[in-house]
Structure 1
Amino acid sequence: MKFKVERDVLAEAVTWVARGLPARPPVPVLAGLLLEASEEGTLTLSAFDYEVSARITVPAEVQTGGTVLVLGRLLADISRNLPARPIEVSAEGSKLQLTCGSSRFSLLLMPSDDYPTLPTSPEASGTIDGDVFTQAVAQVSIAADRGDTLPILTGVRMEVDGDRITLLATDRYRLAQRELTWHPGGSDTSYVALVPARTLSDTARALGASGSVELALGSNAGGDGLIGFQAGQRRSTTRLLDGEYPKVASIFPSSVDTESVLKTSELVEAVKRVALVAERNTPVRLRFTDGQVAIEAGTGDDAQASEAVEAALTGPEIEIAFNPQFLLDGLGAVGTPYARLSFTQPSRPAVLTGQAEEEGEPDTSYRYVLMPVRFAS
């Protein structure tokens, strides 16, 4: 194998593919990155860890085609640090030689015959705007569980019904749901699957900068166990999670007694400051009265803090407490100048939505449900 490729092209391609390489691969070859040079003038780079696959094809001046396997993270580090000149790559014996200007590297080849066959992505099902996809996944994935106690809660539930997609995630303490539209290949598209949240988040960030992302949903309910994503020459698949996601729709309150609208940025800054004195797992208390919300943390002999923020109130006054980080996560996700908090009782879940103007209507396409924390009165 022998080819020449631009430094920036190789560095970007290797970095994208190598981002998902396992830190501690169960077998050594899974730390490798597969390079396939075609005499038609393309270089394809691939990585796979039995759960997630990534593949990208870039142009290259190929003199001799071939396939080699080398350590992915090492190749990524080298390619990023080479001078901005074309890179000549050739396989010689048991080594891969890289030459860029006066820089020369020799990498040990790994046994490519031992590398697993990459999965075939399902057929394309439709497209979604890249920036919408990225925002929606970020808004929902923050609520997915990060532990291993209940693996099913580490996923994002994706339900497709025609041109609507509903993403949902919960870790039992908060719940996030985002509804959005996409461009399906058929009007009768129906699909339900559970996608690992961390992988979905990484994929959305990596592909979302493109104008649109192609989704390959496979058969209904993820019958083939895979979901695929593609943007340009970047392709990725991930294995779906098995199991029945808990029916959490009942968590959404059916009625509202009190609502408060306030500037998102002001509440974020106030909660951050007050939370500085909150010990681990200690809530911040919010007391909503006419015209303001008072935010407090700390009691008794502990450090204490308080601050007040202007807030419009509709309905009875209410005092409620939240995990400060969970509250900040939701406020950061709404992405609008104003936030609306809707309450029933201090012991019942609250709903956070965003809105563009203080007197406007809330954008209910994204809802963040937050469980309150009991506090000593």
Structure 2
Amino acid sequence: MKIRLDRDIMAEAVAWAARSLPTRPSVPILAGLLIKASDTGVTMSSFDYETSAQIEVPATVVDEGEALVSGKLLADISRSLPNKPVELTSDENKAELVCGSARFTLQTLPVQDYPNLPEMPAATGTVESNDFAKAVAQVVVAAGRDELLPVFTGVRLEIEGETLSLLATDRYRMALKELNWSPASTTASGAALVPAKVLNETAKSMTIGEKVTMSLSSGSVGDGLIGFEGSGSGGTREITTRLLDGEFPKVRHLMNIQPTVSVRANTSEIQASVKRVALVAERNTPLRMIIGEGQIALEAATGDQAQASEAIEASVENHAGGELAITAAGFNPHYLSDALSAVDAPFVHFSFTAPGKPCLVTGLDSIDGEPHSDYKHVIMLMRLPN
């Protein structure tokens, strides 16, 4: 194999494909990055039996062929190269990379031992890449991190005609985002549980083009595969990953909150206040939201050592009449901060029912506008001491 390609194109392609490599591969061969040169260009691939990544970039192919080299090492080398064209040649035993006066020789791995990448399923539909990246970012904040409970580490994608829904929960909070997309069939329907970490990285990396093509296999959730493809100036990128097994909990009904008390305020003001007040919050203790007439106050403390409070102007509405059904709510400060960032709206709307019950957080375009219906974030409130 002998190829020539632009230094920046190579560095970006190698970095993108290599980031999917396993940190501790189950077998040494999976630490390799497969480079294939053909008459259409150069393809770089990585695979760990769960997730595959493949990128095709333009290059001058002198001799077609393929080589398998250490992906992490090649990524480190590519980042350090001078801004000059790169020439890469290989034989059965070694690969040689030349860029200007810099020259590297790498031992190759046996290509015949490398597993075949899974085939991309048939296209299910397309979605605007920027919309998809934003939607995924809004939802993954609510996904779990505990690998002992894998079903909570995923994002459930639900397809119903021209609506694509994303849902995640870690049992203490949940997020739902609905957006329009273009299905291959108007009667398309289905669901998939995708690892949140893979989905997040994929969505961000697919903004190179205007559209992302999503391909969902027809198998069951445990045996299924999902693929994503995007094309742009950085080449054509493809990712496939195995779907998570297990039954995702039915949590949609928790989004249907009929508030007894609602609070509206400026999002950036609350975000800044939460950041300040939470500085004195003791681990595993709530940040209190005290609801009053025309304002809310945020409070936190670490025993008798430190206390903080800050009042914020707010619009408070009592839907039940009489006295307020809830005058204080306890939030996990990190969950509240994540929700405010994910809402991505100038104003925020809190829907409360009763102390210790779930709170619905939605966005508003104006202080007296209608709450957004396409994104909902629910936080389980913490119990406050009497």
In the alignment, residue 279 of structure 1 is paired with which amino acid?
Answer: E
* 1:367 aligned partner: 376
In the alignment, residue 251 of structure 2 is paired with which amino acid?
Answer: V
**Are the structure 2 counterparts of residues 27 and 223 from structure 1 closer, same or farther at C-alpha, using a change threshold of 3 Å?**
closer
**Percent identity for Structure 1 against Structure 2:** 50
Partner deviation per Cα, 1:293-327 (whole Å, 9 max, x = no partner): 10000164231111111111111352100100000
Question: How does the TM-score come out when normalised to structure 2?
Answer: 0.95
Partner deviation per Cα, 1:25-62 (whole Å, 9 max, x = no partner): 11111111000011x14100000000110001111111
**Are the structure 2 counterparts of residues 189 and 41 from structure 1 closer, same or farther at C-alpha, using a change threshold of 3 Å?**
closer
* 1:283 aligned partner: 286
Deviation at 1:209, TM superposition (A): 4.0
Work out the CA distance in 1 between the residues paired with 2:329 and 2:208.
Answer: 39
* 1:332 aligned partner: 341
| Alignment RMSD | 1.3
Work out the CA distance in 2 between the residues paired with 1:145 and 1:155.
Answer: 8
* 2:154 aligned partner: 155
* 2:321 aligned partner: none
Deviation at 1:115, TM superposition (A): 0.8
Question: How does the TM-score come out when normalised to structure 1?
Answer: 0.97
**Are the structure 2 counterparts of residues 117 and 153 from structure 1 closer, same or farther at C-alpha, using a change threshold of 3 Å?**
same
1:56 counterpart = 2:55: yes
In the alignment, residue 344 of structure 1 is paired with which amino acid?
Answer: T
* 2:354 aligned partner: 345
1:274 counterpart = 2:277: yes
SS in 1 for 2:258: coil
* 2:94 aligned partner: 95
In the alignment, residue 219 of structure 1 is paired with which amino acid?
Answer: S
In the alignment, residue 186 of structure 2 is paired with which amino acid?
Answer: S
Q: Spell out the pairing of 1:104-253 with structure 2 (5 A cutoff).
A: 104-219=103-218, 221-222=220-221, 225-232=224-231, 233-253=236-256
Paired positions, count:
376
Work out the CA distance in 2 between the residues paired with 1:148 and 1:282.
Answer: 25
The list of structure 1 runs, each at least 4 consecutive aligned residues, that deviate by more than 6 angstroms after superposition, is none
SS in 2 for 1:228: strand
SS in 2 for 1:193: strand
Work out the CA distance in 2 between the residues paired with 1:194 and 1:326.
Answer: 23
Question: Contact 1:176–1:367 (CA<8 Å) still a contact in 2?
Answer: yes
Partner deviation per Cα, 1:166-219 (whole Å, 9 max, x = no partner): 111110100101111100111010111111111101100111342110010121
Partner deviation per Cα, 1:141-185 (whole Å, 9 max, x = no partner): 111110123111111111101000111111010010111110011
SS in 1 for 2:334: helix
Work out the CA distance in 1 between the residues paired with 2:51 and 2:305.
Answer: 47
Partner deviation per Cα, 1:89-114 (whole Å, 9 max, x = no partner): 11145111000000001111011111
Deviation at 1:73, TM superposition (A): 1.1
* 1:313 aligned partner: 316
In the alignment, residue 289 of structure 1 is paired with which amino acid?
Answer: G
In the alignment, residue 250 of structure 1 is paired with which amino acid?
Answer: H
Structure 1 unpaired stretches of 5+ = none
